[in-house]
Structure 1
Amino acid sequence: MSTQPIGIFDSGVGGTSIWREIHALLPNENTLYLADSANAPYGPKGKKTIINLSIKNTEFLLNKNCKLIVVACNTATTNAIDYLRNTYDIPFIGIEPAIKPAALQTKTCAVGILATRGTLSSALFSKTSGLFASNINVVEQHGDGIVELIESGYLFSDEMTALLKQYLQPMMDANIDYLVLGCTHYPYLMPILLELLPKHVKIIDSGEAVAKQTKVVLEKHGLLNSSFLNPKNEFFTNRNPEVMKSLLGDKFDVGYQDF
């Protein structure tokens, strides 16, 4: 048993969608979430910069005595997780777009993927897509501007709706029946997406799979917390805490941390 916290980091507030899944599956675990919102989004940044930011985030969480780190960012996973695993003696859980289940379940042989440029251009995404989606039409769309709007507190805005309409139209023209969300910020778009997409289109993300994998790795290393004491869930950001509070609700406090 280990009462040390699970560490989670993202380029911003979006990874709280992953935190929700982990907290739901592992309610006894202490957690510590770090949002590097001052440097969001990671997508347009080069590989070297993304690795350096991921190192900074990792060392912050290690200094807080975290027992496992979830890289709750598609772009950081695809660009930096190999380096992190080879450098630090701690388990890392990564995240990548759920292209596999979409490709295996599509009936129209067409799926859409909405993701950052950094994710769609990565070797890991190319490998996964090639393995499972080579025989179907994958309509890729860079989600330029989405993360910036969410990080600025404009999730439910006219600008966001207009942007999503523009990005979804080519997918609907291709008759997709699955939309894969390839960024942890994007599950917060669900209410808007459900209004804009045809009813038959299923939306999938990686949150539940990441939570299950986190549990598997904790069990493997004997790190599960079986204590029934009230867990401690801490949230830090290096930008405006009110944006994260608006997503988490009043139940949780968000601290500003200059890192």
Structure 2
Amino acid sequence: MQKNAPVGVLDSGVGGLSVLKCLRAALPQEDFIYVGDTARTPYGPRSEAEVRRFVGEIIDYLAGRGVKLVVIACNTLTVLGVETLKGSHAFEIVGMSKGVQLVLSASKKKKIGVFATEFTINSGAHKAAILEADATAEVYPQACPKFVPLIEGEQFGSGAVKEAVAEYAVPLKADGIDTLILSCTHYPFIQKEIEREFGGEVTVIDPADATAQEAKAALAAQGLLRSEGAGCLEVCFTADVERGARIAGRVLPQDKCRFKEVKL
């Protein structure tokens, strides 16, 4: 592996751009190649076999681009087990942080809500990780299938988003949560709407910063951190590049990005 090689980042669509923003802030000297599979999003309702095939194709593409590390900027893919996605590739893979210590530190009542896709919720991974760290915690998972299509459809600030947030908040409010983790990388795009719905009594946590720090640590451990220069961003989508670029503009400087369509 070469220090000057790029870092690969992948997601089922545009959600991972929220993680790319944090990666760029943590590693400004690194080059990044982002692949969002906008042609086949959302992954949440799909079968495990289908999801594994899709992510394998993206990882193979990034391997062909000579990346030194891959960040799985998608909770749905992370719960599959990042090592099982690696195949024979030499580079390390970093998945999304479950944010366990973040939520336990923030939650005074240890009543924690989880917003995620159906696939992630059904895996039970986040609940298990939190309870393993603190058996006294109470964890309330909530699948939010309407969120990803609304975000991919650029329905930011719309009535439909507000209605969906209110719908999914009802059971968690009844459970009396004081902390909520956004366990889908799409959800930070509507974090303000979520925070407004729950009010100041609930702390809403995005684990993307923790993920970026884990990626930085992985590079440092292998002696692969670039020490100088200003990194560039290549942002790729499998369909709807113009839409992807508009959404990217909400979290990334467009003048620093090169947008392109890729076929897998």
| Other-structure match for 2:94 | 93
- In the alignment, which residue of structure 1 is the partner of 2:261? 256
What is the CA–CA distance in structure 2 between the aligned matches of 1:225 and 1:92, rounded to whole Å?
18
SS at match of 1:14: coil
Q: Letter of the aligned partner of 2:235 in structure 1?
A: F
Q: 1:55 to 1:165 in 2, by over 3 A?
A: same
Q: CA RMSD in A?
A: 1.7
Cα pair 1:110 1:136 within 8 Å, conserved: yes
Provide the rounded CA distance (Å) in 2 between the counterparts of 1:155 and 1:99.
28
For the residue of structure 2 that corresponds to 1:138, the secondary structure is strand
Moved more, 203-212 or 236-245: 236-245
Give the corresponding residue for 2:161. Answer: 160
Aligned length: 258
1:134 and 1:118 map into 2 onto residues whose CA distance is 24
- Aligned to 1:171, the other structure's residue is in SS state helix
SS at match of 1:52: helix
Give the aligned partner of residue 56 of structure 2.
55
- 2:111 equivalent to 1:110: yes
**Which residue is 1:37 aligned to?**
38
Q: Is the 8 A contact 2:106 2:203 kept in 1?
A: no
Report which stretch shifted further, 90-99 or 80-89.
80-89
Identity %: 27
CA–CA separation in structure 2 for the residues paired with 1:191 and 1:247 = 16
More displaced stretch, 124-133 vs 203-212: 124-133
Structure 2 equivalent of residue 140 of structure 1? 141
Closer/same/farther in 2, CA of residues 246 and 191 from structure 1, 3 Å limit: farther
Alpha-carbon distance in structure 2 between the residues aligned to 1:110 and 1:124: 17
SS in structure 2 at match of 1:27: coil
Provide the C-alpha distance between the structure 2 equivalents of 1:174 and 1:80, rounded to a whole number of angstroms.
30
Q: What aligned pairs does 1:1-259 form with structure 2 within 5 A after superposition?
A: 2-122=3-123, 124-132=125-133, 134-228=135-229, 230-249=230-249, 250-251=254-255, 252-259=257-264
Q: Aligned-pair distance for 1:144? A: 0.6
- The answer on whether the counterparts of 1:8 and 1:69 sit within 8 Å (CA) in structure 2 is yes
Q: Which moved more, 1:82-91 or 1:14-23?
A: 82-91
Q: Gapped runs of 5+ residues in structure 1?
A: none
Distance 1:57 1:244 in 2: 17
3-state SS in 1 of match to 2:71: strand
- From the superposition, tell whether residues 136 and 11 of structure 1 become closer, same or farther in structure 2 (CA, over 3 Å): same
In the TM superposition, what is the alpha-carbon distance from 1:40 to its structure 2 partner?
1.1
Cα shift at 1:104: 4.5
Q: TM-score, normalised by structure 1?
A: 0.93
- 219-228 vs 13-22, greater mean Cα deviation: 219-228
Stretch of structure 1 that moved more, 78-87 or 157-166: 78-87
**Aligned to 2:151, what secondary structure does the other structure show?**
helix
**How far did residue 242 of structure 1 move?**
2.7
In 2, Cα distance between equivalents of 1:111 and 1:123 = 14
5+ residue gaps, structure 2, are: none
Q: Could you give the per-residue CA deviations for residues 142-175 of structure 1, whole angstroms, max 9, x where no partner exists?
A: 0112111111222321111100100012212222
Equivalents in 2 of 1:254, 1:186: separation in Å?
Answer: 22
User: How much has 1:133 moved relative to structure 2?
Assistant: 5.1
Provide the rounded CA distance (Å) in 2 between the counterparts of 1:44 and 1:134.
Answer: 30
Is the contact between residue 68 and residue 92 of structure 1 (CA under 8 Å) also seen in structure 2? yes
How far apart in 1 are the matches of 2:241 and 2:123? 31
